[in-house]
Structure 1
């Protein structure tokens, strides 16, 4: 297939995508119309004012900033939380090396245990 054939095919596909996007937008507007009318009817039934709605919109805006979506409509991954530091639980008496007690034991602990020492002997006293 020649390069011009690919370009023509890509242009045709892009036109089709634009057409389908317009159809999707029109469908969304059609679905939104009765919902908006229902909201307006409810607001007038209960006598809700703009001053009452403003704080609710601010809360919703803050929540949506945290749970934002990308251009495809899928949720973005939440920002990674800051890792908390864990207090060390064990200390080597000679070198001062520490270990939290989580994960694989360091070499100095495994070597000491191989010599017959108890892990508890390295506990940090508080």
Structure 2
């Protein structure tokens, strides 16, 4: 293959790449349009302002975490532990999959209630 044919082949490939990139961008824009319309419709339905979105979006960028669940403008907060291991002091809120120390105790015939944290007033 001569130097000229290599250069012309490379040029053809680069033109094809640019053409495909433009097609991909057009497809992406076409798919985004209905999504944006749906977001705007929901913002209107729930009286959400662009400032609300900006604040929520900046919070998730700053922390790297999802925005907290919000109900009536209030954060849900941290769930207090419901169960405590008497020896290790490990705790569990009672939400989600049970930790191994609970599962192991239950498989040995112990009741989950034996690990309940009792309120101070009782």
TM-score scaled by length of structure 1: 0.47
**Which has more radius of gyration?**
1
TM-score scaled by length of structure 2: 0.49
